Structure 1
Amino acid sequence: MTKPRMAAVDVGNDSIKAIFGELEYELNIPNIVARDTEDRPVIGIEELDAKEPLDGIHIKVHSPALKENNLIYRVGNLAAKSNNAAELDPGSSKSEEDQTLIMLFAALALDAVKGEFPRTKNVIDANYTLGTGLPLREVKEGKDAGYRSKLIGSVHQVEFLVTPKYQGLKVNIKFNEVKVYPEGFAAFINLVMDNNSKIINKDLIDKRILIQDIGGLSTDIAVIKNRNVDDDKAQGFNLGVSESLEAIREEIRSKHGVELDSRRDVVEIITRKNDRNHIMVKGSRTSVHDITDRILLDLAKKEYRLLRNVWSKNSQTEICYFVGGGSHVLKDYLKTLNNNLDGYNIEFFEDDKESIWMMANAYYKLITDFVRRTEKQKAEPVKS
């Protein structure tokens, strides 16, 4: 059997972030799927292979882990253009949604076709050691075990249909091992450990820390004491940025008649460096500041209330780190609120990529450490 390839995958509500092998390949795909037919129309079919695979992910997915099996999907950028595009709904559980698995399998298949695994005609047999995670709330409910069991012990197949460069290829995915980490703990590991399991932030090791991870569908607040997550005090909330992004998208449509493809389009309008909070309406540059400010400030107030409540129950906390894509969106609003109100010691990651990729990087560090320790144990002589 081929040596398993390491994969660290963060199936975020906005997008999936994945790191493979020895950091040699990264993927970032919008978390959007759309049901489709086998023969999607392509203008200029003979030029299909000149296009970028990530812009034309068209797959059939077979897996016993899926509630609805053997269906065909557009994924990512291609799905965003569909009338029936689906994004994860507020209140849903990441561990129980078919969409989570479809995105995971698609990302792994896109890595597998790059030549790491043996190929027999058009079939690739891929074997992975996977590090991934779930929101704290779902882990506390014990859903991590069920999620892991869906993946281990089965073969999951992705067939590329009308996808540039990969049309006709099938990838059989097996998992040698799956580690499912609570997202709050993973964020702490990313803060204090490098890729070689060495401590990089010694001053944080023994501090009392909160980590507020704001995602699309949920917010996790991890309470770190004595280098561990305090499971009793850590909390998960059904509050994320998705509903607010949908509200902005809907108000832009009703007020300006502009249809945005997905929540990711809204995020881009809010966060881009040039022309932030502006859209084009009939060819004219138009501000949507009034819409975005009102809706996002309201959400930031709710997130700040969560921080205040958790901090009051953990009064000896020294600092709170805001992480995740939602923190990136709400950063300016939360800073303003904090300056005008309680003045907590809070910290954001000014590097946008560092904040957005924090979970994937954390899973990479954790799964690398797991593999390293496992190999070391196997190499040690057995004591008689």
Structure 2
Amino acid sequence: MIKLAGIDIGNDSIKLVLDGSREPLVIPNIIAPGYERHILQEEDSPWKALDVVIYSPSLSQRNQRYFVGQLALEHEDNLELEDTDNKALSDQSLIVALTALAYQGLTNQAAGPGYGNVDEVEYTLGTGLPVRSFPKYSQTFEHRLLGEHEVTFLSTPQFHNRKIKVSIRKVAVSIEGAAAMFHMATHDSLQVKDEEIYNGCIGVCEIGALTTDFPVIKRMAIDNHFSHGEQIGIATYLDAIIRDVEDAYGHLFPSRAKLAQRVKNRQFTIQLPGEGQVDIRPIVDLHFRRAAVRMVEMIKKRWRKCPDIQCFYVIGGGATALKPYIQDAAGAMKLRFTNDSEFLNVNGYLKVAKSRLNQSVPV
């Protein structure tokens, strides 16, 4: 049975949701070279120890071993995406995405018996790209995802030496931010839920790790002239916080994702060598205020260029972190925020894939 899924291949994390499931899978978009692990105590969840070998015709290096997500988070040789990376072409993003699809296939028993000892799971996917990448790279992105890929879990608890073939049959690529609005405007049945969003002219500021997208949506169609994207996201400011904390206190965060987790959990106290502790909240505040001022200025610029915009939604993982700072910087200008902001796109991608399969909604 082919599973329908939405996958948000974000620069900070990969989010995956299956049709009929409310609980998205989130894996940090971070990898490290894999090797034979010295395990003193096995992790209590396979999610914490994604140790894989991946074969894919779309990868430049095949049958390589990787530590993925949480397992790579504190590894000294880990790799995170930089602002020069293009997610449509990135091997790292594909590695984490295929790991997520294989993991979900096994944990949700979506996988069926294949040949020999190989499980198999088939998907139809909805996914997306930033505004500036979409025109040039959407077809390339689709072709890299399509086809058959193979993931072997090695030391991963509960999945020891399980091999699974991930077959991606169809891919619907849409635009980040626009898919989020489609999700907000419709029910799971794809019937209209919010007339204002569905039939109005809506501005979106979708703040990601490495990009910020400003799609303008008129009656659920992308405005080609006014939609825009910027090659800057919250990662720029997280990197600055990491540098300042290291300079001030000698404490080095092993990854941007590790700092992001602390910010999300409001854990601003760090441990110093010995028994000392320090509050890094003032450093976080300084850089997030700078980020907020820049985001608000970009929103104002977009709104001036397209005065038909009725309201502006600020969404994405970056919006969750920056919300109080943006509200302060915006002053009297009203901006709209939503709950579960970082999951709007992935749920939108699922609905876009469903609508294109049904050929009932022109998204």
> When the two structures are superposed, what TM-score results if normalisation uses the length of structure 1?
0.88
5 Å matches for 1:1-384? 3-23=1-21, 26-37=24-35, 39-44=36-41, 48=42, 51-114=44-107, 115-119=109-113, 120-140=115-135, 142-152=136-146, 154-273=147-266, 276-281=267-272, 282-339=274-331, 343-349=332-338, 351=339, 354-373=340-359
Report how far residue 121 of structure 1 moved. Answer: 4.7
Query: Structure 1: which 5+ runs fail to align?
Result: 375-384
Contact 1:218 1:237 in 2 (8 A): yes
Contact 1:134 1:180 in 2 (8 A): yes
Bigger radius of gyration: 1
Contact 1:196 1:369 in 2 (8 A): no
SS of the residue 1:347 aligns to: coil
Q: What letter is aligned with 2:39?
A: V
Q: Identity across aligned pairs (percent)?
A: 27
SS of the residue 1:51 aligns to: coil
Contact 2:182 2:220 in 1 (8 A): no
> When the two structures are superposed, what TM-score results if normalisation uses the length of structure 2?
0.93
Separation of aligned partners in 1, 2:110 and 2:263: 38
Change (3 A) 1:17 1:77: same
Report how far residue 203 of structure 1 moved. Answer: 2.6
Report how far residue 122 of structure 1 moved. Answer: 2.8
Q: CA RMSD in A?
A: 1.8
Contact 1:219 1:238 in 2 (8 A): yes
* Deviation digits for residues 273-314 of structure 1 (CA, Å, limit 9, x no counterpart): 5xx533333444422122112212222222122111111110
Range that drifts further, 288-297 or 329-338 = 288-297
Change (3 A) 1:201 1:55: same
Separation of aligned partners in 2, 1:156 and 1:150: 10
SS of the residue 1:111 aligns to: helix
* Deviation digits for residues 55-86 of structure 1 (CA, Å, limit 9, x no counterpart): 11000111110122221100111001211111
Query: Structure 2: which 5+ runs fail to align?
Result: none
Change (3 A) 1:197 1:316: same
Report how far residue 326 of structure 1 moved. Answer: 0.8
SS of the residue 2:206 aligns to: strand
Change (3 A) 1:208 1:57: same
Change (3 A) 1:166 1:372: same
Report how far residue 250 of structure 1 moved. Answer: 2.1
Separation of aligned partners in 2, 1:216 and 1:109: 24
Separation of aligned partners in 2, 1:41 and 1:248: 33
Q: What letter is aligned with 1:229?
A: I
Contact 2:205 2:215 in 1 (8 A): yes
Separation of aligned partners in 2, 1:317 and 1:373: 28
- Total equivalences in the alignment: 357
Contact 1:91 1:238 in 2 (8 A): no
Change (3 A) 1:111 1:226: closer
SS of the residue 1:116 aligns to: coil
Contact 1:212 1:320 in 2 (8 A): yes
* Deviation digits for residues 163-211 of structure 1 (CA, Å, limit 9, x no counterpart): 1111111111111211111112202201201211011111333322101
